[in-house]
Amino acid sequence: MVVSSIKTPGVYVNEVSIFPPSVAQVPTAIPAFIGYTEKAEETNGESLFLKYKKISSMVEFVQYFGSGPKLIFDKATGNGIEIDGNNQVVKAVNKQLYFLYDSMQMFFANGGGDSYIIAVDKYKDNGAVDIGGIAPATGMLGGLEVLKEVDEPTMIVFPDAVSMAGDMYTLQQAALQQCGDLMDRVGVFDIQKAEDKTAHANKVKEFRENIGMANLKYGAVYTPWIKVGIKKDVHYRDIKDQIVLAGTTTAVVLSSLVKNLSAADTLAIKSQIILLDELVNDNKFIAARIASILDSNLIANPEFVEYTPAGATKNLPSLSGGYAQLLQSVNSLIAAAEANPIVANVNIAALEVVKLIRQIYNLTVLLDDFGFDSVGFMSNQRMVENTWTSIGFALPPPAFPANAVGDFLAKITELVGWDATFSNLQAGLNAISTAPVIPARDGVPAGALVFQTYNLPLANLAAVNTALLTVAAAATAADQIINMKDALPKLQVLFNYFNNIVSSIEIFGSAFEKAAEEELKRIWPVFKNIIDGVNNNLTILPPSGAMAGIYARVDNERGVWKAPANVSVTYAKGVLVNITDNIQDGLNIDVDAGKSVNAIRSFSGKGVLVWGSRTLAGNDNEWRYVPVRRFFNMVEESVKKSTFWAVFEPNDANTWVKVKSMIENYLTLLWRQGALAGAKPEEAFFVEVGLNKTMTFVDILEGRMIVKIGMAAVRPAEFIILEFSHKVQTS
């Protein structure tokens, strides 16, 4: 209350604040993971690729980003599945090159909680991890660029970077640069895979030579890779062509292992193997067909026309998610056409509406790729042993249209009700109303779904494209806008109709394959033993995901000032390369450039422990240790955010006292928790602010309030030295 402003007689109450504001401490262990995922999709179908999403559990990760990559065995390069003479698995090496999914499991298992995920793309069949760029944002660098927008993360982790060869160092340098610019996060890095000590020494040397010298105090690297007990989801489709005899490259056909059984049992097992082969091929076919609709880079069949929404640069998340993006684009363009109803704007919107029709048409062509017995879809007599109900579904699937293309034409006429405005579109569709007869495929075993390839004649395709891309010039712009707006809800109904059928086929095919696989396990224990043997093989991972979880665990249990070292790695069963004291000498102390590398070691009777806590600035007495760097990050960010209230306050002693008291109170609390060294607070820290102390008169005139803070941060006892001597006998 300004006393001089009081003019009316009376009694006035004025509440005077005598306590300084408090410092709210920021979280310290919130990593941002950048990498490749199975999908990236919000619950409403919106794509999450190259966007950040905060999660707090593995369940959420799977919900938004899907499962892990498919297993890759390669017997041709010695990375297949080896079995001995007793059909026992002695070796199985998974060659897949995407590690984010398993690293997330290790993160949560080791104490991780809240985290941010930036998915840069879907898994690729060739395992490629692209460096990408920032304008536009693509690949791993694009994910890192997106991370700049997010203030909360305190760690940058990208386990997939180890698959980038030399580009990994470019990405790590960019991450260090971001950490140095923002001063609120650190990079947790990996070294590329090495399976023996010589290769490991070379990879460490390569890392040190390529990481550069800038902002090293903001990064820490851990080695070697760790063997973890994460069970993999192994199926028949993963192993069927990848089994060899131990110590050889001789391929083993699974059916050849059926021995010493009765003729009836042998026939039953081999028939089930044939059935599984067909189901796997069928389900891979439908997955590839759907992928060819979603990814223009995969389109190999001329009838699948690209329908990517205007402005979209990434793969679409799913059929329904892609349609939702396209619908959003259509609505935006129609709104723009309404605001300025010129022919050009209307045509742009109409072309996007045509993409909606294309997508629905693509689904009908996809459905015409399926041939079923005349008895009807999913009520096939050959499926009597594996009915819809027997594999866990209570309700029957939707009816399958007799002629998908014909049904499409009928329904689009009925539901959309095109008028003469779109007569050219209707004429183009009529040109393909007669579907060719699909011959039955020979040699199909009992119980298999049958997929047939159906290709539109190229001449018809050209006619359809011409029709779909043309908007009748006779109609007025206003009429076209009305027609398009009226069509959208009807097109949605039509899309849902066909998409539900495609989804049912996917669900049934997957469930049918699973049921057939379980049946083979039941009637043939050898197959079950092989699956279990592969499942029990250890997964090998770069350690950064586990380390992010350990950072979080130690922060929560002890505080960010406690070194995240001398702690066990949960789920770790061993390390890929055993680090000895002599080897760690060279990792910990780099005499050339001071780039320390933290070791993860396996100790007898103790298990796998983190045995190092240095930043990459290993020769820097100020920033040598990870807990010191992260503690200063926490205090700097907390004080920075908590002093925003002082901006534009009077730059005088009243404000200085409040700021000083606020910071001193905060640092006193930290000292009491053991974060600062010193017998008394004044020995642990100082806070100075004031004229002729931290500011000159010119500083005050120019609006600068300068606060100097000094802290005696505790440092880890990295070397415990015990000195022993002989004591002289005194009696």
Query: What does the pLDDT look like over 191-246, one tens digit per residue?
Result: 999 989 999 999 999 999 999 999 999 999 999 999 998 888 888 988 888 888 88
Span of 182-191, 274-283, 295-304, 688-697 with lowest mean pLDDT: 295-304
Q: Retrieve residue 501's tokens.
A: 């059928």
Mean pLDDT across the stretch 378-397? 37
Distance of CA 694 to the CA centre of its chain: 47
Task: Give the whole-number percent of the chain exceeding pLDDT 70.
Answer: 80
Mean pLDDT across the stretch 560-567? 94
> Residue 434 pLDDT more than 60?
no
Residue 118 phi/psi, 5° resolution?
-125, 105
Query: Beta strand pairing status for 155-157 and 186-190?
Result: parallel
Cβ contact 139:604 at 8 Å: no
Domains of the chain: 31-232+538-626 (3.40.50.11780), 269-523 (no CATH), 646-731 (no CATH)
How many Å apart are CA 514 and CA 517, to the nearest integer? 5
DSSP secondary structure of 58-85: HHHHHHHH--PPPP--BGGGTBSEEE-T
Q: Which of 533, 544, 570, 576 is nearest to 227 (CA)?
A: 576
Residue type, 616: L
> Residue 448 pLDDT more than 60?
no
> Residue 381 pLDDT more than 60?
no
Mean pLDDT across the stretch 333-345? 85
Mean pLDDT across the stretch 1-18? 80
> Residue 316 pLDDT more than 50?
yes
pLDDT at position 414, please?
45
pLDDT at position 725, please?
66
pLDDT at position 432, please?
38
Task: Give the whole-number percent of the chain exceeding pLDDT 90.
Answer: 40
Element spanning 284, H or E: helix 263-294
How many Å apart are CA 176 and CA 199, to the nearest integer? 26
pLDDT at position 303, please?
54
> Residue 449 pLDDT more than 50?
no
pLDDT at position 388, please?
39
Q: Which of 712, 719, 646, 659 is nearest to 682 (CA)?
A: 712
């599945």: which residue's tokens?
Answer: 81
């971001």: which residue's tokens?
Answer: 178
Q: Which of 523, 515, 527, 530 is nearest to 262 (CA)?
A: 523
Strand partners, 121: 36
Q: Retrieve residue 404's tokens.
A: 């998908």
Query: Beta strand pairing status for 226-228 and 52-55?
Result: unpaired
* pLDDT mean across residues, the chain: 80
Backbone CA torsion sign across 165, 166, 171, 176: positive
């990517």: which residue's tokens?
Answer: 308
What band does 288 get if pLDDT is binned at 50, 70 and 90? confident
pLDDT at position 445, please?
36
């030579």: which residue's tokens?
Answer: 209
Q: Which of 561, 565, 554 is nearest to 671 (CA)?
A: 561
Mean pLDDT across the stretch 9-37? 87
> Residue 371 pLDDT more than 50?
no
> Residue 641 pLDDT more than 50?
yes
pLDDT at position 440, please?
37
User: What is the rounded radius of gyration, in angstroms, for the C-alpha atoms of the chain?
Assistant: 33
pLDDT at position 417, please?
41
Q: Retrieve residue 277's tokens.
A: 């082969």
Cis, peptide link before residue 439, omega less than 30° from 0: no
Cβ contact 561:631 at 8 Å: yes
What band does 378 get if pLDDT is binned at 50, 70 and 90? very low
CA torsion 27→31→37→40, rounded to 10°?
A: 30
Length of the chain: 731
Mean pLDDT across the stretch 290-306? 62
Mean pLDDT across the stretch 441-470? 39
pLDDT at position 480, please?
73
pLDDT at position 602, please?
93
User: pTM of the prediction?
Assistant: 0.75
406-413 CB contacts, 8 Å cutoff, 24+ apart = 406/433, 406/435, 407/364, 408/360, 408/361, 408/364, 408/494, 408/498, 409/433, 411/494, 411/497, 412/357, 412/360, 412/494
Backbone CA torsion sign across 26, 30, 34, 36: negative
Strand partners, 54: 116
Cβ contact 157:34 at 8 Å: yes
> Residue 299 pLDDT more than 60?
no
Q: Is 188 helix (H, G, I), strand (E, B) or coil?
A: strand
Burial of residue 135, with CB atoms counted within 10 A of its CB: 0-12 exposed, 13-18 middle, 19 or more buried: exposed
How many Å apart are CA 268 and CA 254, to the nearest integer? 14
Span of 7-21, 47-61, 62-76, 285-299 with lowest mean pLDDT: 285-299
Q: Is 432 helix (H, G, I), strand (E, B) or coil?
A: coil
Cβ contact 590:618 at 8 Å: yes
Mean pLDDT across the stretch 125-145? 89
Distance, first Cα to last Cα, the chain: 82
Strand partners, 190: 222
pLDDT higher for 318 or 180? 180
